[in-house]
A and B are shown apart, each in its own frame.
Chain A
């Protein structure tokens, strides 16, 4: 397959021609929309008075919950999220009213004039308080195997602990945006920045009280998503739709950066408790963990995310006796949502930290303890929920990366450095990732496509996945090109549109190429079969002496030929024309569902994943114990992507995912004040990695010759897994801090390891 094709929008990106929703101008009647949101974490709304505001020049409409023609609801799974607040607000940033006006200035003036009377109520602003008040959002989840109680009691050593992992702001460069254009009758089209157009369609039809066939949603591209537009892109779409429906004008809402940061949900912060029993070699005998998630004010995807967290509580390790409990707690903060890794990072963090503690306790190298506990090949290879870990690459990767990174040699050098330096300390760590691929909500593992061949020989591919930069459309284009045997410049991948492919699943769970690629292939297979029949008939006419069989027709290099008689050929363009004259349909849908996966939530058992993705990384850092600053000196990564569909794109996903993870584990800190106001509400205080924060020496390798059976062109998903490779950075920092106390005392700290955390923890160890 043509493996070095560039991102299909690359040229448009670099020339500034790529169109994002905020760049669109449908006509001169277009209005701008603004969301007026709650300034209280929890309060009764006593009165909303916008009579003055409505008089502002240029203002066309101000809407509140009473103006919603359909249901006041935008929860994606559980219907517990208001589109506009009614008589109560439950977080700062909750939408209360909407304004449509001709200019930004008019919006701002009107907003100032809207008077909302609140009566503040008590608010729950952290997990601890939610736990104390038993404010569960849904019943807990549990996965259990063996007899963790007895095994723990019998274990030679036990370590107990707690770990806090922070939330994370998505910080997609393009903030939430939507443009709604009313059409005749009740019809409306939404240009959305959404990872889930079908759900955007569902929510819009719900709030407008119209049928789904009256709502069309189109997604050309997103300026980044990372999970933040899996459900929460629906919100702006619903608000824009309400305003457009009311004013009968196109309405665009593009959230201002600070508003986006204040209003939208983030990665869930977790507060976890664990207990681990092990023997003298560091072999784990029993593991008990309770994962507590801050769900925020409504359910959103919290339970699915929690599910994935519990399903990743093992990471790469065989846990013979294990109990995993997951609880999601309701607080008065924006509803937390999907973010690359989808709970995986939160579950993995805890077991990795437990293992690290075993190493410090036993005075062994953490890499060796990790190795000791890896899933095995023949035995000890089933997960706590009963799925067998197949095609395990852990040992292969471990050997490779230990050697390529010169792990043990550098470990020695670091020890020497640390002996010689009082204030600077270095640390190194190796961490593995095993990540399950598939939606754990099994029915979502389906995809559709619509492939049209036009009678000039060009092809238009529609599929249900959305493009947010990950290169999905490019991969679909490559697949179509390879399957049809025609050059990529004859093919275009269309904007994702609910009227082309209906009832799609979100582009999430790293499954975009896996499932959509298969659906595209399915459509093409159908078309090829039809075209082959035409070709057989045609060859019979042209080459009557050679009997051509349908199964011998090959599509390659823009031609169709008979495998038996390769000189018997006809160009793709010609055969398409002939097929059209012969009244053969040149358009087909395609469909795919992932086979054989299921998960029983009640029992906590099943085969939720089609396969596992593996990765491993080694990072080295230096910290300055006087200032808390860390420097990422070097990172080595090995990632298993099966037979890569596009090495450049996969590499980009690995590097980008890893650096996003580095941000999560180091500088990205969310802070609220005592009233629930987000203090870090702009890039001034919320710090994602810059070009200077990437490893000074960054080596990324794709594992070679590891085809993945059963997937599209034997490839593997690559979107999320690399994110968790960044744990090597957090543990390298931990290793460096631990050196302050000569590795005698466990440094207890949370994630992210900000400068503050590093400094305060180092100070504590210095005193001991």
Chain B
């Protein structure tokens, strides 16, 4: 049995045997693990919920061509076994010893020169986001820089100096001392990856499974229907970090490669449930612009790098941002179990507030998005208090098919307006067959307002949600 978590840190393979290291448990976050060492206290906790980026680290992992890819993520949301087989890079690893003084990494040097730090508390996280940017982009545009920094809150600087540091640092195609050591790291990671046996980590009161094949995952699922499934854990981890919930059993499917495939069929796009939101975003840029638009304002890069599309569907949250779109596209899910696969309409899969039709032995395997013809228009909208790194107050994804000027098919799917993603069925009925005109849309807006009885909460009052929901219909009209 494989019961040791292995990853590369500080240029060597670190092994964690939870049986021996009693102060750690499998769901100890990478943040808390790092901070338990005097030499890794650079990483900071600012919120423990993925909203501030003070805990940002970079993880390097092998891609299919055995090259290293560097990703930023929020270490406060990541459990230790999730970085098994990866290289963990922290702010302490960036500068190297020089003869007299430390030689700073270019992103560090420029942050010093542009005065990009004030109190310094956000700075280690900012540095790691800049490092991620540095490794992935050459001469990035302002948009790319902003996107890389969205997940890092800084209360002191006003960000201008940090943007400047990013612009000046990222000009040498990611070359640095990490490039030189890549070979050694690849070797270590391959060494770890040789053992394909599922990780089974048991401690006194926690059991954590991390399989590396779908088959194994389904066996564990069958035998442990009570285990909480995680993939990116961006939804689940908060229950521990914020609500102090204890997880007795975890099934971590983030190591299952079969769930990370993407392919295009004749009439549909098929996303493996384990594909990260960032990858979905990149795939959809050309092909599914409405999805791309929505994912551009989904969390932050750190979140999108680990959050999965399967997790978004699987959490069945009324404010899950892909769901209205999946409704509008008429998407299907392929569920799988030891007994075989079944395909289900997304609307049938979502059963209620955070409830799905997932069987005790099943996992979501694929998300299937049908292609649409040119006469079909699909658009999406997200309304949130702050444009970026915010949860939807109201979201909408709409599909419209016109015959001549009349509506032949319309789907109006809303998030944030009820306990689940919900279609404005009466409005759809009203508009079907009618002319797609401003006048009819204005009339339809009133029906939208009547269809929902949304909540008042921290994000907004019900009145706002109602008005915003009907206005989105007008936005759909004017943007088409």
The residues of A with any CB-CB pair to B shorter than 8 Å are 6-7, 9-20, 22-23, 25, 108, 170-175, 221-226, 256-258, 423, 468-471, 626-629, 648-649, 651-652, 655-660, 667, 669, 671, 679-680, 682-685, 687-694, 698, 700, 754-756, 759-760, 763
Residue of A657, A680, A755 with highest tally of chain B CB at under 10 A? A755
Which B residues from 30 to 66 make CB contacts under 8 A with A? 38, 41-49, 51-52, 54
Task: Give B163's nearest chain A residue, CB to CB.
Answer: A691
Would you give the 0/1 interface string for B137-155, flagging 1 where the beta carbon is closer than 8 Å to chain A?
0000000011001101111
Residues in B whose Cβ lies below 8 Å from that of A256: 48
Please, how many angstroms separate the alpha-carbon atoms of A657 and B113 in the complex? 20
Q: Are B54 and A173 in contact (CB under 8 A)?
A: yes
Residues in B whose Cβ lies below 8 Å from that of A7: 112, 115, 117-118
Task: Give B39's nearest chain A residue, CB to CB.
Answer: A16
Q: Which of A12, A108, A173, A692 contacts B44 (CB 8 A)?
A: A173
Q: Which of B43, B45, B104, B385 contacts A755 (CB 8 A)?
A: B385
Q: Are A17 and B385 in contact (CB under 8 A)?
A: no
Q: Are A174 and B102 also in contact (CB < 8 A) when A682-B49, A688-B155, A759-B467 are?
A: no
Q: Are A691 and B150 in contact (CB under 8 A)?
A: yes
25 interchain pairs, CB-CB under 8 A: A6-B112, A13-B117, A13-B120, A15-B91, A15-B92, A16-B124, A19-B41, A174-B44, A224-B119, A257-B47, A469-B121, A627-B472, A652-B118, A655-B160, A658-B158, A660-B158, A682-B49, A683-B46, A683-B153, A684-B49, A685-B385, A687-B385, A691-B150, A759-B468, A759-B471
B185 within 8 A of A: no
Q: Are A754 and B41 in contact (CB under 8 A)?
A: no
Q: Are B90 and A16 in contact (CB under 8 A)?
A: yes
Would you give the 0/1 interface string for B240-283, flagging 1 where the beta carbon is closer than 8 Å to chain A?
00101000000000000000000000000000000000000000
Q: Which of B49, B124, B383 contacts A628 (CB 8 A)?
A: B383
Q: Are A173 and B46 in contact (CB under 8 A)?
A: yes
Q: Are A688 and B112 in contact (CB under 8 A)?
A: no
Q: Are A25 and B121 in contact (CB under 8 A)?
A: no
Q: Are A756 and B460 also in contact (CB < 8 A) when A627-B475, A660-B155, A691-B152 are?
A: yes
Q: What's the least CB distance linking B278 to chain A, in Å?
A: 17
Please, how many angstroms separate the alpha-carbon atoms of A763 and B43 in the complex? 46
Q: Are A656 and B244 in contact (CB under 8 A)?
A: no
Q: Which of A108, A174, A693, A760 contacts B464 (CB 8 A)?
A: A760
Residues in A whose Cβ lies below 8 Å from that of B468: 626-628, 759
Please, how many angstroms separate the alpha-carbon atoms of A652 and B158 in the complex? 7
Residues in B whose Cβ lies below 8 Å from that of A9: 117, 120
B372 within 8 A of A: no
Residues in B whose Cβ lies below 8 Å from that of A688: 153, 155
Q: Are A684 and B391 in contact (CB under 8 A)?
A: yes
Q: Are A16 and B155 in contact (CB under 8 A)?
A: no
Q: Are A15 and B42 in contact (CB under 8 A)?
A: yes
Residues in B whose Cβ lies below 8 Å from that of A755: 383-385, 393, 460, 464
Residues in A whose Cβ lies below 8 Å from that of B467: 759-760, 763
Q: Are B42 and A17 in contact (CB under 8 A)?
A: yes
Q: What's the least CB distance linking B10 to chain A, in Å?
A: 13
Q: Which of A10, A20, A469 contacts B111 (CB 8 A)?
A: A10
Q: Are B386 and A693 in contact (CB under 8 A)?
A: yes
Q: Are A690 and B153 also in contact (CB < 8 A) when A656-B118, A684-B49, A759-B464 are?
A: yes
Q: Are A627 and B119 in contact (CB under 8 A)?
A: no
Which B residues from 367 to 389 make CB contacts under 8 A with A? 381, 383-389
Q: Are B385 and A692 in contact (CB under 8 A)?
A: no
Residues in A whose Cβ lies below 8 Å from that of B116: 14
Q: Are A671 and B458 in contact (CB under 8 A)?
A: yes
Q: Using a Cβ–Cβ cut-off of 8 Å, how many residues does chain B contribute to the interface with A?
A: 78
Q: Are A15 and B385 in contact (CB under 8 A)?
A: no
B417 within 8 A of A: no
Please, how many angstroms separate the alpha-carbon atoms of A370 and B49 in the complex? 45
Q: What's the least CB distance linking A689 to chain B, in Å?
A: 8
Q: Are B385 and A423 in contact (CB under 8 A)?
A: no
Q: Are A10 and B117 in contact (CB under 8 A)?
A: yes
Q: Are B42 and A690 in contact (CB under 8 A)?
A: no
Q: Are A224 and B159 in contact (CB under 8 A)?
A: no
Q: Are B43 and A16 in contact (CB under 8 A)?
A: yes
Residues in B whose Cβ lies below 8 Å from that of A648: 115
Please, how many angstroms separate the alpha-carbon atoms of A688 and B154 in the complex? 9
Please, how many angstroms separate the alpha-carbon atoms of A427 and B441 in the complex? 28
Q: Are B158 and A655 in contact (CB under 8 A)?
A: yes
Q: Are A691 and B159 in contact (CB under 8 A)?
A: yes
Q: Are A173 and B163 in contact (CB under 8 A)?
A: no
Q: What's the least CB distance linking B235 to chain A, in Å?
A: 13
Closest 9 CB pairs of A and B: A16-B42, A469-B119, A223-B121, A13-B120, A469-B118, A655-B158, A659-B158, A683-B51, A16-B91
Q: Are A224 and B155 in contact (CB under 8 A)?
A: yes
Which B residues from 114 to 140 make CB contacts under 8 A with A? 115-124, 127
Please, how many angstroms separate the alpha-carbon atoms of A679 and B104 in the complex? 42
Would you give the 0/1 interface string for B449-480, flagging 1 where the beta carbon is closer than 8 Å to chain A?
00000000111110110011001101100100
Please, how many angstroms separate the alpha-carbon atoms of A471 and B119 in the complex? 8
Contacts A225-B119, A692-B387 aside, 13 further interface pairs with beta carbons under 8 A come to A9-B120, A11-B104, A13-B111, A13-B117, A15-B104, A20-B44, A223-B121, A626-B474, A671-B458, A693-B387, A698-B160, A756-B461, A760-B463
Please, how many angstroms separate the alpha-carbon atoms of A656 and B160 in the complex? 9
Q: Which of B155, B393, B458, B459 contacts A226 (CB 8 A)?
A: B155
Residues in B whose Cβ lies below 8 Å from that of A223: 44, 119-121
Q: Are A652 and B115 in contact (CB under 8 A)?
A: yes
Residues in A whose Cβ lies below 8 Å from that of B461: 756
Q: Are A687 and B390 also in contact (CB < 8 A) when A25-B38, A173-B153 are?
A: yes
Residues in A whose Cβ lies below 8 Å from that of B113: 6
Please, how many angstroms separate the alpha-carbon atoms of A683 and B154 in the complex? 12
Q: What's the least CB distance linking A92 to chain B, in Å?
A: 15
Which B residues from 420 to 467 make CB contacts under 8 A with A? 457-461, 463-464, 467
Would you give the 0/1 interface string for B386-423, flagging 1 where the beta carbon is closer than 8 Å to chain A?
11111101000000000000000000000000000000
Q: What's the least CB distance linking B141 to chain A, in Å?
A: 13
Q: Are A14 and B118 also in contact (CB < 8 A) when A652-B157, A683-B51, A691-B162 are?
A: no
Q: Are A655 and B51 in contact (CB under 8 A)?
A: no
B108 within 8 A of A: yes
Task: Give B108's nearest chain A residue, CB to CB.
Answer: A14
B94 within 8 A of A: yes
Q: Are A224 and B158 in contact (CB under 8 A)?
A: no
Q: Which of A16, A222, A626, A685 contacts B119 (CB 8 A)?
A: A222
Which B residues from 305 to 354 make CB contacts under 8 A with A? none
Residues in B whose Cβ lies below 8 Å from that of A683: 46-47, 49, 51-52, 153
Q: Are A651 and B115 in contact (CB under 8 A)?
A: yes
B284 within 8 A of A: no
B172 within 8 A of A: no
Q: Are A629 and B383 in contact (CB under 8 A)?
A: yes
Please, how many angstroms separate the alpha-carbon atoms of A659 and B153 in the complex? 12
Please, how many angstroms separate the alpha-carbon atoms of A689 and B156 in the complex? 11
Q: Are B385 and A14 in contact (CB under 8 A)?
A: no
Q: Are A682 and B146 also in contact (CB < 8 A) when A15-B102, A17-B42, A655-B160 are?
A: no
Residues in B whose Cβ lies below 8 Å from that of A13: 111, 117, 120, 123-124
Would you give the 0/1 interface string for B155-174, flagging 1 where the beta carbon is closer than 8 Å to chain A?
11111111100000000000
Residue of A175, A657, A756, A759 with highest tally of chain B CB at under 10 A? A756
Residues in B whose Cβ lies below 8 Å from that of A656: 118, 155-158
B95 within 8 A of A: yes
Residues in B whose Cβ lies below 8 Å from that of A171: 153, 155
Q: What's the least CB distance linking B32 to chain A, in Å?
A: 9
Q: What's the least CB distance linking B295 to chain A, in Å?
A: 15
Q: Are A754 and B385 also in contact (CB < 8 A) when A257-B46, A682-B47, A688-B153 are?
A: yes
Residue of A15, A19, A468 with highest tally of chain B CB at under 10 A? A15
Q: Are A423 and B478 in contact (CB under 8 A)?
A: yes
Q: Are A6 and B42 also in contact (CB < 8 A) when A257-B47, A659-B158 are?
A: no
Residues in A whose Cβ lies below 8 Å from that of B474: 423, 626
